[in-house]
């Protein structure tokens, strides 16, 4: 068993920490300072994004938006484009599965 205290562990802004990684999935802790964003992007995997602390805004290219604070869990389909903005200093837990997903550069034959 492994465990992490996501609230107190050291993580530098813009330097995600991979907590665990296997064929089944990857867990990543991200520190996103207030006013910063993860510009519009997509991943090849299904992505679960949980706000550990702080407050974020999510924007979808089609105009959908969501705001959330600690405890919010959002799921993105593979290849679903989105943008994340930190309203406050935030910590985010990102889980990707499977890892790497179909079409990911490290998963090409």
Q: What is the pLDDT of residues 40-86, one digit of tens each?
A: 888 889 999 999 999 999 998 888 889 999 999 999 999 999 999 99
- Enumerate the domain spans of the chain: 27-102
Q: What pLDDT sits at residue 104?
A: 72
42 versus 109: the higher-pLDDT residue is 42
Q: How far is CA 44 from CA 27, 33, 88, in A?
A: 15, 25, 28
Q: How far is CA 71 from CA 3, 67, 78, in A?
A: 18, 12, 22
Residue 106 has φ and ψ, to the nearest 5°, of -85, 0
CATH 2.60.120.10 fits 27-102, yes or no: yes
pLDDT reported for residue 58: 95
Question: Degrees (nearest 5) of the Cα angle 39, 40, 44?
Answer: 120
């Amino acid at each position: 068993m492994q465990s992490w205290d996501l609230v107190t562990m050291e993580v530098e802004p813009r330097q995600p920490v991979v907590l665990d990684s296997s064929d089944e999935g990857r867990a990543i802790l991200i520190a996103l300072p207030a006013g910063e964003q993860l510009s519009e992007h997509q991943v090849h995997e299904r992505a679960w994004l949980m706000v550990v602390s702080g407050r974020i805004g999510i924007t979808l290219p089609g105009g959908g938006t969501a705001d959330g604070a600690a405890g919010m869990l959002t799921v993105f389909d593979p290849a679903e484009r989105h943008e994340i903005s930190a309203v406050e200093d935030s910590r985010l837990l990102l889980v990707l599965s499977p890892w790497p997903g179909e079409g990911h550069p490290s998963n090409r034959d």
